[in-house]
Amino acid sequence: MLHIRHITKSFPGVRALSDVSVDFAPGEVHAIVGENGAGKSTLIKIMCGIYAPDAGEVVLDGEPVTLHAYKDALDRKINLVSQEIQVIPKSTVAENIMLDKLDRYLSRGRIDWRRINQDAARYAELVDLTVPVKGLVAGLSTAQKQLIMIARALSSDARILIMDEPTSALTRHETDNLLQLLRRIKSEGVTVLFVSHKLEEVLAVADQVSVLRDGSLIGTRPIAGLTKEQIVQMMIGRDARTLDLGKLDVSAGRAALEARGVSQAGRFHDVGFALHRGEILGFYGLVGSGRTELAEILIGEARKDGGDVFIDGKLARIHSMADSLFKYRMGYVSENRKEKGLILSAPIRTNIAITVWNRLCDRFGSIQLAAETATARQFMQALEIRATGPHQMVSSLSGGNQQKVSIAKWLAAQCDILIIDEPTIGVDIGAKEYIHQLIWDLAKREGKSIILISSDMPEIINVARRILVFKDFKIVGEVRNNGEDGARVRGYEEISQEIGQFLA
Ligand SMILES: Nc1ncnc2c1ncn2[C@@H]1O[C@H](COP(=O)(O)OP(=O)(O)OP(=O)(O)O)[C@@H](O)[C@H]1O
Ligand SMILES: [Mg+2]
């Protein structure tokens, strides 16, 4: 029913897609996978009229169609949930959900708000969004905003529903609910296109998978009989590795960071832990278990009502992120990079150098462009950020490459203590291996002390050597992941079971 034929698309300095053809059938979930920058979002944007292809065509019901804008796609019942969070913060949840069709509620010059709210509530319930629909969107979490965008796409009876990494901010529960919903939607004959870096989801829900690499289609295969390893092989052209990261030299002496008796009304009560120099300490738990919230207290983004934080054995007074960074050399790589981490309208070099401006400034106080560019280049190379150069705007990078920029920013800050929150959400498998190695090297080679917050069990077991398990704003357990000499001696199964017991 929907075909794309010989699509080619270039941007200045980069060919995003070359000669890509795929067929999509009614009632199928068709996954599109590939590394960061492979061209997935570009393909989707062409199918939604957001970009025009340089060559090739989109064929719908046997007719080539020309889509000049997203509106044209909507008119043909092609709906998109984009990779970027696009909501209007100052409007209500209901308005955001019904955004594309508010005009349908207009009669005799009046908008029927009661019906809008009623209908919106139905779609909110469908995606398991449990906030009042009359409330404003501002202040909601990233996951809630993502659910609003999904509800919006569902509300317009799409024939073709396109979702670009819809689950990147969702919890396990919300994700399961969404996958269930997709199965139901496809049984009604809707075509679902689904982009995800989480191959477990792809295997669970897709019927077909198309793999892109460097803008070319590697192939389209039925999911039945396909393994995760085979998909990875198609994506990156080699097998995935589980790196054996080796052994860390953790200093047993004075803690780099210690929290004692930290309390916050309604949340934490008397929480304490110590992070040693050169250590990678894992914070594991479900989304909402208090890991990020504790990190926010440590870096001065949130207030505590009691307790103390010591850095290098001395009582620390941290009232803002600037205190944390400039007085105590402690940085925080936010999980919320899409919204908080980057200045999208600025070039890569400015984003990377933002935390080191005070060092790059010359004596007249202006930032030296050359120094900024050099710093940016160094990190772009180290993290393999795919871009035309340090001057490229962050807004025109692929989603995963934007993530890498925000990580680079904190690496550039040269902190002694780094809190890294969900570093590999939205990044591809190759980059994930790379980021794991990088976190490891920071501790091993540069003696940095690192807290790694992650909901990804393999990730935390592979990278952290001691893991604190969080549940309901409490530290409910500590799992050691190494032998006396610092090397990992226990198997994955054993450690994951022990973590599971604390969470039960
Ligand atoms: N508006 C734009 N201007 C310039 N270059 C762009 C633009 N949009 C995308 N690109 C480039 O095209 C290439 C493909 O990007 P695309 O966003 O399609 O990747 P992707 O597969 O969606 O990656 P990710 O998994 O990181 O989201 C990248 O090199 C990207 O930098
Ligand atoms: Mg993308």
Q: Measured from the CA of 215, which atom of ligand 1 is nearest?
A: 14
8 Å CB contact between 262 and 304: yes
Looking at residues 76-84, what average pLDDT do you find?
90
Largest CA distance in the chain: 77
CB atoms within 10 A of CB 118: 12
- The pLDDT assigned to 240 comes to 65
Q: Separation of 455 CA from ligand 2 center, angstroms? A: 22
pLDDT at 281: 95
The residue type at 188: E
Report which residue type is found at 366: S
Torsion of CA 147, 47, 426, 216, to 10 degrees: 160
Averaged over 472-478, what is the pLDDT? 94
Q: From the CA of 12, give the closest atom in ligand 1.
A: 4
Residue 213's pLDDT is 93
Q: Is 60 in the pocket of ligand 1 (CB under 6 A)?
A: no
| Three-state SS annotation for 325-356 | HHHCCEEEECCCHHHHHCCCCCEHHHHHHHHH
Q: What is the CATH number of domain 241-329+416-504?
A: 3.40.50.300
More confident residue, 150 or 483: 150
What are the domain boundaries of the chain?
Answer: 2-236, 241-329+416-504, 342-414
User: What atom in ligand 1 is closest to the CA of residue 35?
Assistant: 25
pLDDT for the residue 245: 73
Q: Which pLDDT band holds residue 315 (cuts at 50, 70, 90)? A: very high
Note the pLDDT of residue 34: 93
- Tens of pLDDT, residue by residue over 192-218, are 999 998 888 999 999 999 999 989 999
> Could you tell me the distance, in angstroms and rounded to a whole number, from the CA of residue 42 to the centre of ligand 1?
6
The CB-side HSE value for 339 (13 A sphere, CA atoms) comes to: 15
Q: Residue 24: is its pLDDT beyond 70? A: yes
Kindly identify the ligand whose nearest atom is closest to the C-alpha of 40: 1
Q: Is 9 in the pocket of ligand 1 (CB under 6 A)?
A: no
Distance between Cα 400 and ligand 2 center (Å):
7
User: Could you tell me if 129 and 147 are in contact, meaning their C-beta atoms sit under 8 angstroms apart?
Assistant: yes
Tell how far CA 315 is from the center of its chain: 34
- Dump pLDDT digits (tens) for 244-300: 677 777 777 789 999 999 999 989 999 999 999 999 999 998 777 899 999 999 999
The pLDDT assigned to 335 comes to 64
- Mean pLDDT score of the chain, rounded to an integer? 87
Q: What are phi and psi of 296, to 5 degrees?
A: -65, -30
Task: Tell which atom from ligand 1 comes closest to the C-alpha of 387.
Answer: 31
Calpha distance 132→278 (Å, rounded): 45
Asked if the domains at 2-236 and 241-329+416-504 fall in one CATH topology, the answer is: yes
Length of the chain: 504
Question: What ligand has the least distance to the C-alpha of 396?
Answer: 1
Beta strands in 214-324, from DSSP E residues, in sequence order: 216-222, 255-263, 271-276, 280-284, 306-311, 314-315
For residue range 357-399, what is the model confidence (pLDDT) as tens digits?
A: 555 555 555 556 777 888 889 888 887 888 899 999 998 888 8
DSSP codes joined into one string, 163-226:
EESTTTT--HHHHHHHHHHHHHHHHTT-EEEEE-S-HHHHHHH-SEEEEEETTEEEEEEESTT-
Of 461, 24, 344, residue with least CA distance to 469: 461
Pick from 410, 442, 255, 437: nearest CA to 342: 410
pLDDT band at 419 (very low <50, low <70, confident <90, very high): very high
The CATH T-level fold of domain 2-236 is Rossmann fold (3.40.50)
CA of 332 to the centre of ligand 1 (A): 26
Does residue 189 come out as left (phi exceeding 0), alpha (psi in the -120 to 50 range) or beta? left
Q: What's the pLDDT score for residue 23?
A: 96
Residue-wise pLDDT tens digits, 425-471: 877 777 788 888 888 888 888 888 999 999 888 889 889 989 999 99
**Spatial distance between the Cα atoms of 363 and 365, rounded to a whole number of angstroms:** 5
pLDDT digit string (tens) for 90-133? 999 999 999 888 888 888 888 889 999 999 999 999 888 889 99
Residue 403 clears pLDDT 90, i.e. is over it:
no
User: Structure tokens of 31?
Assistant: 């996954």
Q: Is residue 85 within 8 Å of residue 166, measured between CB atoms? A: no
Atom of ligand 1 nearest to the CA of 44: 18
User: Does 67 have pLDDT greater than 90?
Assistant: yes
pLDDT in tens, 327-337: 999 988 776 65
- The protein residues having their C-beta less than 5 angstroms from ligand 2 (an ion) are 41, 83, 398-399
**What sign does the CA torsion over 383, 385, 386, 388 have?**
negative
Q: Is 92 in the pocket of ligand 1 (CB under 6 A)?
A: no
Contacts of 70 (CB under 8 A, 6+ apart): 48, 49, 50, 80
Question: What's the pLDDT at 365?
Answer: 52
Tell whether ligand 1 has an atom less than 6 A from the beta carbon of residue 56.
no
> Can you give the pLDDT at residue 456?
85
Distance between Cα 239 and ligand 2 center (Å): 22
CA of 71 to the centre of ligand 1 (A): 22
CA-based nearest residue to 398, from 146, 41, 1: 41
Q: Give distance in angstroms: CA of 215 to centre of ligand 1.
A: 10
> Which atom number of ligand 1 is nearest to the Cα of residue 45?
18
469 beta partners: 284, 477
